Structure 1
Amino acid sequence: MEKSEEGFVLQLRLRPGTTVSLQIPVDTLASLEKVAASRDMSLQALIKFYIGQGLRQDLAKLFADRVLEKTAQVLTRHIPSEEEISSIIREICTEAVV
């Protein structure tokens, strides 16, 4: 644990890992190395950061889709009109984007 001047505590949670091998185009690897150097990060840390960032976005989208699906199911049990349910779901989606 590390305590900063602001009083925040950084807690790292080590998790088991595995090694993967993937082929990356040479020019993409060169770009990744440049970005990593500009951020004062290792290439491995940058790739992990990008994977984590994309994964969190995708998981959040999956969760939101699941919530909408369940919302539609609940509405179906209480509202007989499919048109009204679709309208409510569209309104929720519109409001969520703003």
Structure 2
Amino acid sequence: MKLETLKKRLNRNRPMTAITIRMPEDVIEDLKRVAPLLGFSGYQPLVRAYIGQGLRSDLDRLEEDTISALIASLKRHGVSDEIIQEALGEIIQH
């Protein structure tokens, strides 16, 4: 994830949008029970944390898939491993 995006995600004052989601009552009760044990003020912040964790995981995986596909394509077009590694090193430094 890009540093700028990460900084925005860490801002607790980001705008929020209300949503409605149907969930089984027993799941809500479990969330309410677990939230304070994990240090959350309520079940909704816990749900947001779970969603955020899953979303970050998926975004990282998709980004890795995209980078892997790009590297494979560059290799098929004759770009050497040395040049690819140099380019990746430049990206990581920024």
Q: Does the alignment reach a TM-score above 0.5? A: yes
> What does 1:56-75 correspond to in 2, within 5 Å?
56-75=56-75
Summarize the Cα distance change of 1:35–1:13 in structure 2 as closer, same or farther, 3 Å threshold: closer
> For 1:36-88, what per-residue CA distance to the aligned partner results, in whole angstroms no more than 9, with x for missing partners?
02123111110111111111000000000000110111011017xxxxxxxxx
TM-score, length of structure 1 as denominator length: 0.64
**Per-residue deviation at 1:13?**
4.4
Summarize the Cα distance change of 1:13–1:34 in structure 2 as closer, same or farther, 3 Å threshold: closer
Q: Does 1:15 align with 2:14?
A: yes
Structure with more of its chain in strand, by fraction = 1
RMSD: 1.7
> For 1:15-35, what per-residue CA distance to the aligned partner results, in whole angstroms no more than 9, with x for missing partners?
122110000011111111111
The secondary structure found in structure 2 opposite 1:78 is coil
* Structure 2: runs of 5+ lacking an equivalent: 1-9, 80-94
Task: State the 4+ residue runs in structure 1 displaced beyond 3 angstroms.
Answer: none
The one-letter code of the counterpart of 2:24 is: P
* Structure 1: runs of 5+ lacking an equivalent: 1-10, 80-98
Structure with more of its chain in helix, by fraction = 2
| Fraction of identical pairs, as percent | 33
TM-score, length of structure 2 as denominator length: 0.66
How many residues align structurally?
A: 69
